[in-house]
Amino acid sequence: MGGLAFDAVTQAEVVDRVRAELRRGRGGRIVTPNVDILRQTRRSPESRDHVTAGDLVVADGAPLVWASRLAGSALPERVAGSDLIWSLSRAAAEDGRRVFLLGGAPGGDRATAARAADRLIATLPGLHVVGACSPPMGFDADPAVLRSLVDDMVSARPDVVFVGLGFPKQERVIARLAGALPRAWFLGCGAAVDFVAGNRRRAPRWMQRGGLEWLHRLAAEPRRMFTRYMVHDAPVAAGLLLSSGMHGLRRGGRPATRD
């Protein structure tokens, strides 16, 4: 869709794949494009390269799932980074795997990543969090700071790394870290670290299921999100749905559905 290839997998299948690959000693990257990321890949070859470098590319956006159904090649479900941070952590707790959190706002009595780690540990007994870091703004442009982060992470030896820095910054950092940790799995998860820490409130379940999570974020942060959602992303989503519907009609089939 939109020139990007997606893996037609459920959240449970993503977790199973990661667990199986970890048992084999192989790492990888999970990329979770939404409409905004799709828009960026059309404008930036670098952004497109970050997505295509993913070992698993899953749709974190209801319009992408709707478009796949209109086109006659239905993705099984939305697979959001904000859900995967929980399901992968649950699997890590069950398997005795080591988790590292990177992202969220620094400062205060306790940085965002550390608060998120506390909540994950409290909710998932047995989870082994080996590091939690909310780096300062601009850290990725400072070679010394980035090198120190890589060294710290190598020493921590995580199996799963959650990187919540926003696209494409988090993918740039993941590309740097993955070379030093070839057996770890990385998830670029955007605002998920903030959600887990409680810095931001995620949309109610009914809004998530109805594809209205964007509306909740717009209401919560209108100044920051209006231009993104209403000016930049809405035309892309409308165009994607229209082109997918036309593609489905040309194929002569009905829109794909799931029982």
pLDDT by position in tens, the chain (length 259): 888 999 999 999 999 999 999 999 999 999 999 999 999 999 999 999 999 999 999 999 999 999 999 999 999 999 999 999 999 999 999 999 999 999 987 765 568 999 999 999 999 999 999 999 999 889 999 999 999 999 999 999 999 999 999 999 999 999 999 999 999 999 999 999 999 999 889 999 899 988 899 999 999 999 999 999 999 999 999 999 999 998 888 876 554 554 4
Residue 259 lies in a domain: no
Q: How far is CA 224 from CA 6, 211, 216, in A?
A: 28, 20, 13
Residue 1 lies in a domain: no
* CA dist., res. 166 & res. 171, Å (int): 8
* CA dist., res. 66 & res. 245, Å (int): 10
Residue 258 lies in a domain: no
C-alpha dihedral, 103 to 30 to 58 to 82, nearest 10°: -30
Structurally, how many domains does the chain consist of?
Answer: 1
Q: Containing domain of residue 52, as a range?
A: 11-250
| Closest of 59, 182, 56, 197 to residue 118, by C-alpha | 197
| Closest of 191, 140, 122 to residue 162, by C-alpha | 191
* CA dist., res. 244 & res. 6, Å (int): 14
Residue 163 CB burial class (10 angstroms; 0-12, 13-18, ≥19): buried
